[in-house]
Amino acid sequence: MKYWLLLLALALIWGSSFILMKKAMYTPDGIQTFTSNQVAAMRILIASIVLLPFGLRALVKVDFRKDLLSFSIVAVCGNLLPAFLFTYAETGISSGLTGMLNSTTPIFTILIAIVIFKDRMTPRQFTGALIGSVGVILLLYFGKKNSMHGDWSHIISVVIATLCYSISLSVIRYKLSHYKSLDIASIAFIILLLPSMYFFISEDTIASFKNTLEIRHSLIALSILSIVGTAFALFIFNTIIKNTSALFASSVTYFIPIIAVLFGLLFGEQINLAQIVGMLIALIGVFIANYSSNKKS
C-alpha cells in the first residue's frame, strides 16, 4: 500500500507539471508574466542548483571518457530541449492535450530501440505500437480541432519533445544502466548548469521580474515545477524502484496523462470525449507493447 501511495504521489507530481508550466507563464487572469523560454530557462536553472550537491557527489562514480557523450545526450534530450519545447507548445495548446500527447513517449522508445539499437520487434510490440499510433492520430486530429488556439507547430513541439525523451530513455537503458537514476539526473543537470545560466541571462529574465507586478503565482508554480517536480520526484522514483521493481515504477507512465487531463479540466480547459478516447487507445497500445518486455526485465 505504501508504494502504491508513492506511485500515486509521483503521478500527481509529474502529471501536474503540464498545468504548472502554463501557470508559470500566465496569471490566473491570463496575463503573461514570463515568456515560454524564460520559464524553461528558470526551470532548468533552479533544478540544476537543487541537484548540484547530488551531482558533485556522483562525479566520482562517472567514467567521463566512456560516458560523457551519453550523459550529454540525456542532459540535452531528456531535459533541456523538452523544457523549451513543452513551454512553447503550451502557448498554443491546452496543458491537458500536452499531457495526453506525452503518452507517445513509450511508443517512440520502442521504435528507437528497434531502429537504432537493433532490438527485435515482437508481434506484441508491433500490435501495441500500431494501436498506440491510432490513438496518437486521433489525439492529433481532435486536439487540433478542439484544444488549441495556436498552429501545428505547437503540437509538433510536443511530438519532438516526446521523441527527445525517448532518445534519452534509450541512452539510459543501453548506455547508462549501470548508474543509479538519481546520479544520472544530477550529472545531467550539472552539465546544464552553465547553459541554463546563459539562457536565463540571454532571455532578459531579470527584466521580467522588474517590469511585472503580478508574478507571485507564476513563481510559486515555477518553484513547484522545478523543485518538487524534479528533485523530490526523483527521490520518490528511486525509492519505488529500490523497494519494488522497474515494472511497477514504469506504470506511472499510464497515470501521468490521466492526471494531466484532470488538472486541465479543473482549471477550465476544454477537453472532449474524442480526445480522451484517443488517449486511452494510445495508452492501451503502450501497455500491450511494453508488457512483455517489461515483464522480462
DSSP string, 18-32: HHHHHHHHB-TTS-B
Name the residue with higher pLDDT: 257 or 40: 40
Q: How confident is the model at residue 291 (pLDDT cuts 50, 70, 90)?
A: low
pLDDT over threshold 80, residue 245: no
Question: Which amino acid does the sequence have at 242?
Answer: K
Tens of pLDDT, residues 46-99: 999 999 999 999 999 899 889 999 999 999 999 999 999 999 999 988 888 888
- Over residues 153-182, the mean pLDDT reads 88
The Cα–Cα gap between 136 and 103 comes to 9
Tally the residues of the chain.
297
- Render pLDDT for 115-129 as a digit per residue (tens, 0 to 9): 887 777 778 877 887
Residue 72 CB neighbours (<10 A): 15
The percentage of residues in the chain with a pLDDT greater than 70, rounded to a whole number, is: 90
Nearest to 203 by CA among 20, 27, 36: 36
Q: Write down the domain spans for the chain.
A: 2-296
Strand-pair partners of 26: 32
Judge whether residue 295 has pLDDT over 60.
Answer: no
* pLDDT averaged over every residue in the chain: 84
Cα–chain center distance at 212: 28
Helix (H), strand (E) at residue 260:
helix 252-266
Any idea which residue has 487540433 for its cell? 144
CA angle in degrees (0–180, nearest 5) for 246-252-255: 160
| Percentage, residues of the chain above pLDDT 90 | 32
Q: How far lies 275's CA from each of 38, 59, 148, in Å?
A: 30, 44, 12
pLDDT of residue 249: 65
User: Who wins on pLDDT, 129 or 186?
Assistant: 186
Looking at residue 284, what is its pLDDT? 87
Residues in CB range of 216: below 8 A, 6 or more apart:
none
pLDDT above 60 for 106: yes
Q: Do 42 and 205 contact (CB within 8 A), yes or no?
A: yes
User: How much is the pLDDT for 292?
Assistant: 55
**C-alpha separations of 43 from 70, 86, 107, 149, 215 in Å:** 22, 12, 26, 25, 15
Q: How far apart are the first and last CA of the chain?
A: 23
Amino acid at position 67, single letter: D
Backbone φ, ψ for residue 93 (5° rounding): -135, 165
Distance separating alpha carbons of residues 152 and 137, to the nearest angstrom: 13
pLDDT digit string, tens, across residues 189-226:
999 999 999 999 999 988 888 766 678 888 999 999 99
93: β partners? 148
Burial 136-146 (b: 16+ CB within 10 A, else e): bebbbebbbee
- From the list 270, 292, 254, 290, the residue with the least C-alpha distance to 102 is 254
